[in-house]
Structures are given as C-alpha cells and as structure tokens.
Amino acid sequence: MKRIILAAIALLGAATVSAQITEVVTATLQQPDGSSTIYYNRTAFKQAYEAALDGAVITLSSGDFDTPGHIVKKLKVYGQGYLPDNENNVPATRVVGSLNISSNNASDEPTSDVYLEGIRVTSIINLSEAGAKNVMIVKCRAENIHLYGIVEDITVRQSVFGSIGGRGYVANNFVVENTWVSSINGFAAESSVAIDHSMLDIYQSGPYYYTNCITWNWNEPEGVTMYNCILQKGNIVNCTRVDCWTYFGGYSSLFTDGTDCNWGDNRTWELTDPDSFIGNDGTQIGLLGGKYPFDKIPNIPRILNSTIDTKTSEQGVLNVSISAEARPVVE
C-alpha cells in the first residue's frame, strides 16, 4: 500500500483544490511527534491503528472502514459524522462491525484515554473484559454499548444508541449527556450512572440519576432519582422525583417536528414551548439544553471531499485534493 508522509496538514476554514479525479477513503495518522501518514482504502483504519503510538490522532474520511477490532492504545479517533451530509453529498464515516475498547483478556491493564467522535459503528461498541477508564464517545452512533468489565470515568455525549447495557458490571462515574438512547440498564447496584439532558425509556431499577431528561416510560423503576424530567406516567411512586412534569398518554404536542419520541435522522427535537420546561441548570430540558446541546455534526474541521489523481504528473507529482469546513470546538 502506497503511503504519503506529510510534514504538516493544515485545514484552515474552507480549503478547496481543483483537479478532483478519484474519490478515496482515507485514514490520516498523526503521531505524537507531529509526523503524519495517510492510509488508503477500506483497511485504512486498521493500518493507521496498527502504526499508531500512544497519544496519536486518527482522522477518518467519509466512507466505510473495516474495524480494527480492539482499541487498547491511548488514541483520539475522529470521523466526519455518523449521518450523511446530503446537502454537500458527503457520506457518513462508518466502521463496519463491532468496535472493542480494551482487551478481551481480563488480566490485562484497563485501556484508558480513548476519544471517539463523529463515527457510525454498524454493530456494537464493547467496553471489553480488561476494563476501561477515561473514555469519551461523542457524536457517535451504534446499535448498543455493552460492558464486559469494570469501567471508570466514561462519558457518552451527543450520540445515538439502541441501548447502553451494564451487563452486571460496575461503572464508576458513567455519564450520559444530550444523548438519545432507547434504554440504559443492567449496571451493578454499586455503580454511579448519571444521565443528563437525554431522551430514553426508563424501565429498570438501578443506580441511575436522571436530570433534565425526556422519558417515555410505562414502568415503575425503584431506586432511581429524577430531577426536572418529563415523564409519560404519573403513578411512579417507588423512586425520587423532584420538579418533574407528566404527559399522560403521549407527546403529540411536545415537539415541533413530531408526535412521539422515536428517533429520526431528520428530527430536530425542538420543544413547542421550551420556556415551560426549564431544568435545574437554567436551560430547557431535553436534548437541546445544557452545556452540550445535541448536534449531529462533528466539532473538528469536516472533510467534505477528498480525491487523488490516478497517476503522477510528468514531474512526478501526485495531486491530492481535500475540501473541508471548520466548526467551533466545544470543550
């Protein structure tokens, strides 16, 4: 596989280069010393991961990538978004298969300091047997997140998941922020799980602390604590509720763009009357409130188009074209 070593890559604002000939799928690896390598085609993510040192950054273009399997290194991995940008004709960044953070050997050291953003994992994100700590998953989408070991300091933010399942394991400081998730369940009783400004079904008892959420629940979970949440049932008596609202029967008038809480790629989740539902942090409840309002677009400069000539010029130059747009980064 031909590789091109770049001394530096600058994406300032929107940069567009002409002579676009062949669309390519790329993974750009930036090592801690600043050196960079671009890998091409569907195996690019795997190749970049294998070459990466602790502290490296991998940036994936749009398109489909084979999963690297297990991530056990300290890495940041950025994609171009879990949804296609139809306006600019930019596909999503998809990792095909499951993505496992940490080793599946329980005797190994826990994997730490992993950051994922702007990626669609087509199957499951597993926090594997060796355990994980200090992991952030931002603006990503997958079928589920599953725990297979003890985890600590995990943040899931502005993302979309079918479920987040503890599978009986302990999670210390597991935080879910501004995320749509069908359910959160199965965490060991001694866990600490905080869910803020999110949307989900509440159906299981456990160590869950909900603030400023919108829920669609018909169960009575014991032991959970809810502050400033919207509920779909009023007779939940076996949990702590403070300053909550009840919508009997459904949410036909709650949102401006729909009559239910079902996920839709084009849903905005704007409230019809946001001033009537203020959370304990002074902002509207639900996905659009809080410090990290729900946003599907990655924070980093987003590659809109990348092309490579099929052959070098007479001068031996291989032309590469990258078109990108910058966005503010939210810390």
pLDDT digits (tens, 9 = 90+) for 138-188: 999 999 999 999 999 999 999 999 999 999 999 999 999 999 999 999 999
- Same domain for 290 and 309, yes or no, is no
What is the pLDDT averaged over residues 208-235?
80
- Same domain for 301 and 211, yes or no, is no
Q: Token pair for residue 103?
A: 């080793």
- Same domain for 9 and 70, yes or no, is yes
Amino acid in position 111 = T
Residue 247 confidence (pLDDT): 77
- Same domain for 6 and 49, yes or no, is yes
Q: Domain count for the chain, please give it.
A: 2
- Same domain for 184 and 114, yes or no, is no
- Same domain for 289 and 328, yes or no, is no
Q: What is the C-alpha to C-alpha distance for residues 9 and 6, in angstroms, rounded to an integer? A: 7
- Same domain for 215 and 288, yes or no, is yes
- Same domain for 58 and 98, yes or no, is yes
Least confident of 98-107, 134-143, 202-211, 251-260: 202-211
Residue 219 confidence (pLDDT): 63
- Same domain for 276 and 326, yes or no, is no
Q: What is the C-alpha to C-alpha distance for residues 272 and 261, in angstroms, rounded to an integer? A: 14
Look at residue 212 and tell me whether its pLDDT is greater than 50: yes
Q: Is the pTM of this model over 0.95?
A: no
CB contact at 8 A, 287 and 256: no
More confident residue, 323 or 206: 206
Per-residue pLDDT band for 123 (boundaries 50, 70, 90) equals very high
**Domain span at 65:** 1-130+295-331
Per-residue pLDDT band for 217 (boundaries 50, 70, 90) equals low
Residue 166 confidence (pLDDT): 94
Report yes or no on 42 lying in a domain. Answer: yes
List of residues 6+ apart from 41 with CB closer than 8 A: 1, 24, 25
Report yes or no on 309 lying in a domain. Answer: yes
Q: What is the C-alpha to C-alpha distance for residues 104 and 127, in angstroms, rounded to an integer? A: 9
- Same domain for 195 and 68, yes or no, is no
- Same domain for 259 and 319, yes or no, is no
Instruction: Supply the DSSP symbol for 245.
Output: E
